[in-house]
Amino acid sequence: MVESDSTDFSILYEENHRTIYHFLLKISGDPEVAEDLTQEAFLKVFTFYSKFDPERGSFTTWACSIAKNLYFKHYNKQKKEFGNLSIGDSHLEIEVNPEIPENLERAFLEKAIKDSIQSLPEPEKSIILLKELERKTLKETASALGISERTVSRRLISAVALLKEKMESQGLQF
């Protein structure tokens, strides 16, 4: 890589670092994991920058695909090491005033929904987080995950069905 390419890369890094970090934070639920994987993603991006083809998609999309793959690798490794422990529990804390029954019920339901979403396998969890909670379009979700819009649509249907099944197994109506 020549010096001008390094300069170009540093600009790309500055313009995309926060996006990649927030993407990883959203799917991992853990700021430390997101930061580590963001750095690892940009190392890979830097290493394979010559393979980037702007005609196939934007730099951000390409970098998000690399980040997503690193997250799946990390997630699967953690799952093997620790079994089926819930990830990202620390960011699910809900503060409510227990004096008000409506708030307590709402907090319980929100936590049950979040726990159910967190327990979904990847990429279903990421699809629900991006498409439904962040209100991304099919195209934006597909782009962020590096899959086709049709695949997002199909997986979203199965993810919602799986989420419904998990919630109903807890005695909650979906």
- Can you give the residue ranges of every domain in the chain? 1-84, 101-173
Q: Are 99 and 56 in contact (CB under 8 A)?
A: no
CA distance 147 to 72: 14
Provide the pLDDT for residue 88: 41
- Token pair recorded at residue 155: 């997986």
3 state SS of 105:
helix
d(CA 117, CA 98): 24
Among 26-40, 43-57, 98-112, 133-147, name the one with the lowest average pLDDT.
Answer: 98-112
Q: Tokens at residue 157, please?
A: 């249907």
Question: What percent of the chain shows pLDDT beyond 90?
Answer: 3
Topology of domain 1-84, CATH: Rna Polymerase Sigma Factor; Chain: A (1.10.1740)
Burial state string for 52-88 with b = 16 or more CB within 10 A and e = fewer than 16:
eeeeeeeebebbbbbbbebbeebbeeeeeeeeeeebb
- Measured CA to CA, the distance from residue 71 to residue 30 in angstroms comes to 11
pTM over the 0.85 mark? no
Cβ-proximal residues to 31 (8 Å cutoff; 6+ apart), any chain: 25
d(CA 136, CA 144): 10
pLDDT tens digits, one per residue of 135-151:
888 888 888 888 888 88
Structure tokens at 54: 């702007």
pLDDT in tens, 98-130: 444 555 556 667 777 777 888 888 888 888 888
Which of 9 and 72 is assigned the larger pLDDT? 72
Domain range 101-173, its CATH number among 3.30.70.270, 3.20.20.70, 1.10.10.10, 3.10.450.50:
1.10.10.10
